[in-house]
Amino acid sequence: MSEIVGLPLSLVPVLAFLAALFFLESYRLVRFRAVLEAILAGALAAAACFLLARWLIGRGLVDAGVYARYAAPAIEETAKAVFVVVLIRREWVGFMVDAAIFGFAIGAGFALVENVYFLTAVENPSPLLWCVRGFGTAVMHGGATAIVGIVSKALSDLRQSQRLWVFLPGLGLAAATHAVFNQFVLPPLLETLVVMVAFPALIAVVFSRSEHLLQGWLEVGFGSDVELLEMIKSGELKDTKVGEYLLSLQSRFPREVLGDMLSYLQMRVELSLKAKAILIVQKAGMEPAKDPEIGDRFKELRYLERSLGVTGKLALSPFLHTSTRDLWQLHMLQENAAA
Amino acid sequence: MLELKLRSEGGWSVVGLVGRLDVTAAPNFERQCDEWIGAGHTRMILDFSRLEYISSAGLSSIITAAKALQAVGGRFAIAGLAGVIKEVFSITGFATLFPNYPDVEAALRAT
């Protein structure tokens, strides 16, 4: 009987919250498959933490109560943050809002495994326990990893860096939030209520800020892409800034590499415009048209990258946008084509 | 700065866009289209032949206008794409999202 009540109470709230985040995000930055992968990553993190806790407590290296209050928050948040680090470092996250969705999905995966374990391990648990675990602990797990994602992405954008240090403040904040929750300073039901109020408030701020940033980036980026495209396709390239610059490189690069530089610039600007158009169409609630040639375009892009080498790409940096967001949009375009 | 010129031709409302459809002009364009649709202009051709610049906000506003027409069972087409704006429409796939004709006359003949 307790499983019949406990299972939905402990699993549904966090999944419902995740579904709300996924569907409320109007640009559809995160694909459904990617959310499932994040849930799986969270579940694996939970399994790893469970094995580590059993080993530490079983060997008498740490007391179970001490572990739960002090060690578990740091260990569990670190384990969940691993996938966030991978996503941000691989340029698979564009904005704070998708970082929040990925983070919450990882935390949800973690909470699902943890709650299923509790369901089998605790004898005769009360519905109150499942309420606290479902609405409180599970949402706290999602929220804490979302904090890692949000803070890390914000710092990564601010510093244009993906070095490990940019993940530490978010991780510290998440571990601190988790540790405070585990101290049960407040009565469990009140603590659950605090989580249920604080997290949506944080997400609302992130959604609004992210939407504003995204619109600004779209407008500015689209404008500079169009300007560059106009120069490349003007028919009188040598009279443009790009043409003058490429001519100035004549003594340093072979002629065919200079040709590839121009092709590379054109390919990048075209792919960039395609990616931004997908966001515009998705924001309008429409399905973007499939481009059957997109795979070939990326194949060509990789070929040109090899031809240019690191030096050639560096030489193009005055005209090439290489911010984390500019690289993310290429990933988003590939994902969209593969879907 | 964007100037909008509405004229009726062959049972269609032809909207000429002159200037720049950017983040400043887009809200006004959407509002004006809404007013026209409300006033019964439900068969609309957007004439881009004198448009000098379009941004992401401009593209969004075109989708909004097309959806508003769709919602009232109207019809929508674009005409006169040229130069870099034609390139932008072609690269972004917007040229295939809506019926697209070389000029207004061709659009009127085809529709």
ipTM of this predicted complex?
A: 0.80
Question: For residues A58 and A29, what is the distance between their CA atoms, to the nearest angstrom?
Answer: 43
Q: Where are any strands of DSSP class E within A19-72?
A: none
Is B18 part of the contact surface with chain A (CB cutoff 8 Å)? Answer: no
Task: Please state the length of chain A.
Answer: 339
pLDDT in tens, B19-39: 999 989 999 999 999 999 999
Do A266 and A332 lie in one domain? The reply is yes
For residue B59, give the chain A residue with the closest CA: A280
Q: Do B92 and A273 touch (CB under 8 A)?
A: yes
* DSSP state at residue B53: E
Does A72 have pLDDT greater than 70? yes
Do A115 and A190 belong to one domain? Answer: yes
Is the same domain home to A134 and A265? no
- Backbone CA torsion sign across A66, A67, A69, A70: positive
The chain B residue lying nearest A292, using CA atoms, is: B93
Confidence of residue B51 (pLDDT cuts 50, 70, 90): very high
Residue A233: which of B54, B84, B97 has the nearest Cβ?
B84
Q: What is the mean predicted confidence (pLDDT) over B45-49?
A: 96
For A65-93, give the DSSP string. Answer: HHIIIIIHHHHHHHHHHHHHHHHHHTT--
**How many beta-carbon pairs below 8 A join chains A and B?**
62
- Residue written as tokens 């002629």? A255
A44 part of a folded domain: yes
Q: Report the sign of the C-alpha dihedral through residues A321, A322, A326, A329, in that order.
A: positive
Q: Is B76 on the interface with A (CB under 8 A)?
A: no
Least CB–CB distance from B91: residue in A219, A274, A288:
A274
Burial class (CB within 10 angstroms; exposed 0-12, middle 13-18, buried 19+) of A246: buried
On chain A, the residues whose CB falls within 8 A of the CB of B88 are: 226, 229, 273
Residues A270 and A189 in one domain: no
| A311 located within any domain | yes
Residue A168 has pLDDT above 80, yes or no: yes
Q: Is the pLDDT of residue A276 over 90?
A: yes
Q: Is B71 on the interface with A (CB under 8 A)?
A: no
Does A280 lie in the same domain as A144?
A: no
pLDDT at A2: 64
**What mean pLDDT is predicted for residues A105-130?**
89
Residue A175 within any structural domain of the chain: yes
Note whether A233 contacts B: Cβ–Cβ < 8 A. yes
User: Are A319 and A179 part of one and the same domain?
Assistant: no
Chain A residue with the nearest C-alpha to that of B98: A289
Per-residue pLDDT averaged across A282-294, rounded? 87
Region A95-114 average pLDDT:
96
pLDDT at A112: 95
Q: What is the mean pLDDT of residues A20-47?
A: 95
Classify residue A240: in a domain, yes or no.
Answer: yes
Cα(A218)–Cα(A208) distance, integer angstroms: 15
- Look at A226 and B84 and tell me if their CB atoms are within 8 Å: yes
The verdict on A135 and A248 lying in the same domain is no
Same domain, A328 and A262: yes
Query: Any idea what DSSP says for residue B22?
Result: S
- Picking from A215, A273, A284, the nearest residue to B64 by CB comes out as A284
Give yes or no for B98 touching A (CB within 8 A). Answer: no
Which backbone phi and psi does A167 adopt, to 5 degrees?
-90, -15
Assess whether A33 and A90 both reside in one domain. yes
A160: exposed, middle or buried (Cβ count in 10 Å: 0-12, 13-18, 19+): exposed
Claim to verify: residue A47 and residue A186 sit in the same structural domain: yes
In a domain, A228, yes or no: no
Q: Is B49 on the interface with A (CB under 8 A)?
A: no
Given CB atoms, is B82 within the 8 Å cutoff of chain A? Answer: no
Confidence check: pLDDT of B111 > 90: no
Q: Contact A119/A10 with Cβ under 8 angstroms? A: yes
Under a CB-based contact definition with an 8 Å cutoff, are residues A10 and A134 in contact? yes
CB atoms B93 and A288 under 8 Å: yes
Residue in B57, B88, B96 closest to A273 by CB: B88
Same domain, A204 and A260: no
Q: What is the largest CA-CA distance in chain A?
A: 80
State pLDDT tens for residues B78-109. Answer: 999 998 899 999 988 888 889 999 999 999 99
Closest CA to A44 of A8, A90, A80: A80
Nearest to A219 among B57, B84, B96 (CB): B57
Task: Answer yes or no: are the C-beta atoms of B59 and B26 closer than 8 Å.
Answer: no
B95 touches chain A (CB under 8 A): no
CB contact under 8 A, A280 and B60: yes
Alpha carbons A260 and A268: distance in angstroms, whole number: 12
- Domain span holding position A51: 2-210
Residue A21 has pLDDT above 90, yes or no: yes
Provide the whole-model pTM.
0.87
Same domain, A76 and A199: yes
Average pLDDT in the A184-188 region?
A: 86
pLDDT higher at A184 or A300 = A300
Grade residue A135 by pLDDT with cuts at 50, 70 and 90.
very high
Whether A49 is covered by a domain: the verdict is yes
CB A105 within 8 A of CB A35: yes
Structural domain count, chain A: 2
What pLDDT does residue A106 have?
Answer: 98
Q: Tell me the average pLDDT across A63-77.
A: 93
Cβ distance of A229 and B92 shorter than 8 Å: no
Q: Which of A273, A278, A336 to mutate against chain B (most B CBs within 10 Å)?
A: A273
